[in-house]
């Protein structure tokens, strides 16, 4: 069976305040740690009422400290929001504290709106246009220490200097990141759960064009998918109603906390809204474990990922934990001895 991992947004609901959502993430990670999942990644978003965590590096340290088996990483750090030296230092620190268990996933989007992105970057040395590639190059140089003689950074060292950066993964929802990840020989994670670009094209493109590097000898592609699983198809559909309404609102620019099932079921959907929901369902896998596994298998066979990374956003925290448990059983994950 294909390995499974977790992507967590620390989702805020109408019944769960942001502080409680952060604590739920730590509780979920403890739960996941004993189910056989490979890794647990935290996202970076800003100024969104629906997402509680703007600082994945802080959450990584908290979660790594209370787990033993899973790798913990960023899914991802939005590199244009940060000075590359800061990213290098923080993730070298995490790797020093939790050796062999940290991942550094990098994204090129702001993870927020334009005004907030400007506020995040206003004190950085801003370049015109998309400067992700330049920042990635600088981040790599902090690891290799190959700044040329005479460069202002030549004698600057990212501490702790006895620790390497953890594995770097490039995140994407288009063909740009798949091409870049292949060229520089890094891991690649594709965001099927919100991408408009074809996942199969991106995954195959990455694998076919991968060039071995000092970072990775062979390609490793992660496919991030949205999944909601329950004991029955009917129960899973009820849980997914919160997602349906939330996604509908997001399409209108309303990034509100996740509504309850009761609110979602009582909402008076128009025919146009129901059509939109059906369209959005192409990015969401809903049903009993057997139903979800059957649906996912078609995508797995077509895109050939090395790993599935699952995001489950439901209103009830215990239902979310159960969804991951059922999925682990369906995919035959080996639980830890604990």
CA–CA separation, 207 and 201 (whole Å):
10
Q: Which residues contact 281 (CB under 8 A, 6 or more apart)?
A: 244
CA distance to 45, 75, 259, per residue, from 7 (Å): 13, 7, 20
Residues recorded for the chain: 338
Tokens coding 124? 């950085």
At 99 the three-state DSSP class reads coil
* Residue bearing tokens 């594995």: 167
Tokens representing residue 315 in the block: 């209103």
The two three-digit tokens of residue 172, written as one number = 């994407």
- The structure tokens listed for 336 are 């830890």
Q: % helix / strand / coil in the chain, to the nearest 5?
A: 45, 15, 40
In whole angstroms, how far apart are CA 177 and each of 7, 89, 174, 208? 18, 24, 7, 14
Question: Please, what are the domains in the chain?
Answer: 4-331 (3.20.20.30)
Task: Please tell me the predicted confidence (pLDDT) of residue 245.
Answer: 97
Identify the H or E element spanning 41.
strand 39-42
What is the pLDDT at residue 195?
86
pLDDT score recorded for residue 337: 36
Per-residue confidence (pLDDT) for residue 191, from 0 to 100: 95
How would you write the pLDDT of the chain (338 residues) with one tens digit per residue? Answer: 899 999 999 999 999 999 999 999 999 999 999 999 999 999 999 999 999 999 999 999 999 999 999 999 999 999 999 999 999 999 999 999 999 999 999 999 888 888 888 888 876 766 667 889 999 999 999 999 999 999 999 999 999 999 999 999 999 998 898 999 999 999 999 999 988 899 999 999 999 999 999 999 999 999 999 999 999 999 999 999 999 999 999 989 899 999 999 999 999 999 999 999 999 998 999 999 999 999 999 999 999 999 999 999 999 999 999 999 999 999 999 764 34
Query: 137: which 2 tokens?
Result: 């190059």
Residues 223-241 as b/e (b if ≥16 CB within 10 A, e otherwise) read bbbbbbbbeeeebbebbbb
Q: First and final CA of the chain: distance in angstroms?
A: 22
pLDDT at 126: 62
157: its two tokens: 């060292």
Closest of 336, 292, 306, 309 to residue 187, by C-alpha: 306
CB distance 53 to 260 below 8 Å: no
Say how far apart CA 288 and CA 293 lie, in whole Å: 8
Predicted confidence at residue 338, as pLDDT, reads 40
Per-residue CA distances from 163 to 65, 159, 169, 170, 303 (Å): 18, 8, 18, 21, 35
Q: Sign of the C-alpha dihedral, residues 13, 16, 19, 22? A: negative
């Amino acid at each position: 069976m294909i390995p499974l991992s977790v992507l967590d947004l620390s989702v805020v609901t109408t019944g769960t305040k942001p502080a409680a959502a952060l604590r739920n993430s730590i509780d979920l990670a403890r739960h996941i740690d004993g189910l056989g999942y490979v890794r647990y990644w935290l996202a970076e978003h800003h100024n969104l009422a629906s997402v509680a965590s703007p600082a994945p590096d802080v959450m990584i340290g908290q979660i790594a400290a209370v787990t033993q088996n899973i790798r913990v990483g960023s899914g991802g750090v939005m590199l244009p929001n940060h000075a590359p030296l800061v990213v290098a230092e923080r993730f070298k620190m995490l790797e020093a504290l939790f050796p062999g268990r940290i991942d550094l996933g990098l994204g090129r989007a702001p993870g927020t709106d334009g005004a907030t992105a400007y506020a995040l970057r206003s004190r950085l040395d801003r370049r015109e246009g998309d400067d992700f590639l330049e920042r990635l190059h600088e981040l790599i140089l902090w690891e290799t220490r190959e700044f040329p003689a005479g460069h202002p950074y030549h004698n600057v060292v990212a501490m702790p200097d006895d620790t390497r950066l953890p594995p770097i993964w490039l995140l994407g929802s288009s063909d740009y990141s798949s091409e870049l990840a292949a060229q520089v020989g890094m891991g690649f994670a594709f965001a099927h759960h919100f991408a408009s670009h074809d996942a199969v094209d991106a995954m195959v493109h990455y694998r076919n064009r991968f060039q071995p590097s000092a970072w990775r000898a062979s390609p490793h592609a992660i496919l991030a998918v949205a999944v909601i699983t329950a004991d029955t198809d009917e129960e899973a559909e009820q849980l997914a109603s919160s997602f349906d309404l939330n996604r509908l609102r997001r399409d209108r620019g309303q990034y509100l906390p996740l509504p309850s099932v009761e609110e979602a079921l009582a909402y008076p959907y128009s025919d146009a809204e129901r059509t939109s929901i059906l369209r959005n369902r192409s990015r969401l896998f809903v049903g009993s474990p057997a139903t979800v596994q059957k649906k996912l298998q078609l995508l797995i066979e077509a895109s050939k990922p090395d790993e599935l990374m699952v995001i489950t956003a439901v209103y009830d925290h215990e239902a979310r934990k159960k969804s991951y448990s059922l999925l682990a059983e369906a995919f035959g994950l080996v639980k830890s001895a604990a």
